[in-house]
């Protein structure tokens, strides 16, 4: 979320461009298992571009609001733990089944309420508020955090663990500012996360250097 339609559109386009670079780097670097995680900035960029339309619609319950909710809620809850599982080292994959299971359950619950309920967006100064009317919202939020932040922290990859810490701290700051209805900083947070992911993908796709050693005689 950004503080205006224009800010969402510009930030979304920038984040999506980083996402394209991430995907290309993972694809050309011989790391196909990293592609789902490398595509996260593409999802975040599309998410912000969609929200620019929510601003223009002055909130409400239209298609843009529903598309925003689908990406933010069930899709990311399932995509992120599955993507981390793909990219993680074999030693971490068994424990990553826990956040994946949490993501499956959370995505199923959120999808059900999206289909049977109504998502409403409301412009609140420089923020957009979304209401779904979830029963047992605390359980759903806990499952969402286990699936997303938990999968990163349990990934067994130092870069992804640090990324998980960044996500947890950044999300807490963004939510605190959003609740005060002062200004939404999610777009800046998404941009920082996307750049961090790009450097992670670039590091992973670097070819391994051959071991250096003394040259054999006659070489």
Residues with pLDDT less than 70, the chain: 1-2, 174-187, 206-219
**For position 209, what pLDDT does the model report?**
54
The answer to whether residue 89 sits within a structural domain is yes
The answer to whether residue 53 sits within a structural domain is yes
- DSSP summary character for residue 207: P
Q: What is the CATH number of the domain that holds 142?
A: 1.20.1070
User: 119-129 b/e with 16+ CB inside 10 Å = b?
Assistant: bebeeeebbbb
Scanning 88-185, the segments in alpha helix (DSSP H) are: 97-116, 137-145, 151-153, 158-179
The answer to whether residue 217 sits within a structural domain is no
The answer to whether residue 134 sits within a structural domain is yes
**For position 1, what pLDDT does the model report?**
61
The answer to whether residue 66 sits within a structural domain is yes
**For position 192, what pLDDT does the model report?**
84
Range of the domain at 183: 5-205
How many domains does one find in the chain?
1
The answer to whether residue 78 sits within a structural domain is yes
> How far is it, in rounded angstroms, from Cα 12 to Cα 129?
18
**For position 182, what pLDDT does the model report?**
43
**For position 9, what pLDDT does the model report?**
92
> How far is it, in rounded angstroms, from Cα 127 to Cα 96?
34
The answer to whether residue 153 sits within a structural domain is yes
The answer to whether residue 197 sits within a structural domain is yes
| pLDDT tens-digit readout, 54-73 | 999 999 999 999 999 999 99
Q: How many residues does the chain have?
A: 219
**For position 190, what pLDDT does the model report?**
79
> How far is it, in rounded angstroms, from Cα 117 to Cα 32?
37
């Amino acid at each position: 979320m950004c503080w205006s339609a224009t800010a969402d559109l510009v930030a979304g386009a920038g984040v999506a461009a980083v996402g394209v670079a991430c995907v290309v780097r993972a694809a050309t670097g011989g790391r196909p298992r990293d592609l789902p995680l490398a595509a996260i900035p593409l999802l975040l960029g599309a998410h912000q571009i969609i929200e620019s339309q929510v601003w223009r619609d002055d909130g409400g319950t239209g298609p843009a609001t529903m598309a925003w909710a689908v990406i933010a809620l069930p899709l990311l809850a399932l995509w992120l733990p599955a993507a981390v599982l793909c990219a993680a080292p074999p030693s971490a994959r068994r424990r990553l089944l826990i956040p994946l299971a949490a993501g499956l359950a959370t995505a199923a619950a959120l999808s059900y309420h999206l289909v049977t309920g109504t998502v409403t967006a409301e412009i609140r100064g420089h923020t957009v508020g979304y209401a779904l009317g979830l029963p047992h919202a605390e359980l759903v939020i806990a499952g969402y955090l286990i699936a997303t932040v938990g999968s990163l922290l349990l990934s067994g990859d130092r870069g992804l663990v640090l990324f998980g810490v960044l996500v947890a701290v950044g999300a807490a700051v963004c939510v605190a500012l959003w609740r005060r209805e002062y200004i939404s900083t999610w777009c800046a947070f998404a941009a920082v996360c996307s750049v961090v992911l790009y450097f992670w993908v670039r590091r992973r796709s670097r070819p391994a250097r051959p071991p250096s050693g003394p040259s054999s005689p006659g070489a």
